[in-house]
Amino acid sequence: MSWLILGVAVFTEICWALSLKWAATLATWQASSVPIILSFVNMGLLALAMRGLPAGTAYAVWTGCGAVGVIIGGVLLFDDKVGMVQACFMALTVIGIVGTKMFAQA
């Protein structure tokens, strides 16, 4: 169950980061409230996931998946550019995340 909660936390992390850029483009208090709300949800879910997972494992998976997800989201939503070298390092990040999950003690 902790891994599922961590997956939802990763999703909210990605939404949070992308909402920062979205809110900056709109520059309204309503848009600015979205990343604030998502940050509370995000941290709460991460803390909940850490009840059943080692902190280092949960944080590594959360940040790694979040970083790759935000890059992909930026490409899809904001037309951000990703070079071949950056894509290769993203693949290494994913390999590290898979290894962390496969060899996690919890």
CB-based contacts of 41: which residues, under 8 Å, 6+ apart?
Answer: 12
Q: What are phi and psi of 53, to 5 degrees?
A: -130, 150
pLDDT tens track for 56-104 = 999 999 999 999 999 999 999 999 999 999 999 999 999 999 998 888 7
More confident residue, 49 or 106: 49
Q: What is the pLDDT of residue 106?
A: 57
pLDDT at 25: 87
Show the tokens assigned to 52. 């059943």
Q: What span, in angstroms and rounded, lies between the C-alpha atoms of 56 and 103?
A: 13
Instruction: Determine the structural domain holding residue 16 and report its residue range.
Output: 2-102
| pTM, full prediction | 0.88
pLDDT at 43: 96
| Half-sphere exposure in the Cβ direction for 68 (13 Å, CA) | 18
What is the number of structural domains in the chain? 1
6-54 pLDDT, tens digit per residue, is: 999 999 999 999 999 999 889 898 999 999 999 999 999 999 999 999 9
Q: Tell me, what's the pLDDT at 9?
A: 98
Q: Rounded to whole angstroms, how far apart are CA atoms 36 and 92?
A: 31
